[in-house]
Amino acid sequence: MTRSGDTPGRSGDTPGRSGDTPGFDSAVATKRGDDGTTGLLYGGSRIAKDDARTEAYGTVDEAVAALGLARANVGLKARIGVLPRGLGGFGETILRLQRELFVVGAELATNPDAWDRLEDGRTRVSAAMVAGLDDLLEVVESHIEMPREFVVPGETPTSAALELARTTVRRAERRAVGLRHGGLAPGEHLVPYLNRLADLLWVLARAAEQAESRRATPSRSGTRDRIDRSPVNAG
């Protein structure tokens, strides 16, 4: 999601080089964002880095990174030969979601003057992408036991990372709703996609716990509340 000129880094300073090395041209630190502005896709006027659009696609970027933690943990288990059968395919699923979030980010980061250049499934969230999450949600739910209480994240590293991604997606959803109210969200499927994705990540976190024979930790010791899904997540 980050673009050249917006990535934190040291201008003209690389390991083993003086920061004033003549002729060093960083491929990352263009310095164009030093004034606190950033560019949108397809050009147009630059916007402030605290603009609501920047906040929205930046939050999506955070969600991609959080999912990376979950995928890295699954990959590590696979490499050392301790991957539970129930986590088989998790890495591919998470990577798919990360790539789809790049589509979300592209849509949010597009200059309104260029909305007519957006392409479904590439730079704009499509109905098929939302339907794909619904299909995946149905499959995962059919293979797990739903907690009957509020749950506390942290039972396994993989599930905790998925929960972190879920809460970040919820924040991105709130930002996107604000943009929609202001007429700055181009597509009709972006908000439903984020809503559905957060639901899916909650379910995937429970699946990750159960794949490692762990049960979700209830939010209150000894509680007997019969809740099929935490309303903190329900959307």
For 32-57, write each residue's pLDDT tens digit: 777 787 777 787 778 778 788 889 99
78-81 contacts, C-beta under 8 A, 24 or more apart: none
- Buried/exposed 44-80: b ≥16 CB within 10 Å, e otherwise: eebbeeebebbbbbbbbbbbbebbebbbebbeebeee
Among the ranges given (43-47, 53-57, 72-76, 135-139), the one the predictor scored with the smallest mean pLDDT: 43-47
C-alpha–C-alpha distance, residues 164 and 63, integer Å = 8
C-alpha–C-alpha distance, residues 115 and 103, integer Å = 14
pLDDT of residue 125: 97
pLDDT of residue 232: 47
pLDDT of residue 219: 76
pTM > 0.85: yes or no:
no
Is residue 177 within 8 Å of residue 216, measured between CB atoms? no
pLDDT band at 147 (very low <50, low <70, confident <90, very high): confident
Pairwise pLDDT comparison (44 vs 196), residue with the higher score: 196
Pairwise pLDDT comparison (145 vs 189), residue with the higher score: 189
Q: Provide the CA 152 distance to its chain's centre, in angstroms.
A: 20
Classify 49-218 by CATH class. Answer: mainly alpha
Query: Whose structure tokens read 């006027």?
Result: 45
In this predicted structure, the answer to whether residue 218 has a pLDDT above a threshold of 90 is: no
Pairwise pLDDT comparison (64 vs 54), residue with the higher score: 64
pLDDT of residue 14: 40
What is the sign, positive or negative, of the torsion defined by CA atoms of 213, 217, 221, 226?
Answer: negative
- Count CB atoms within 10 A of the CB of residue 217: 15
So where are the chain's domains?
1-35, 49-218
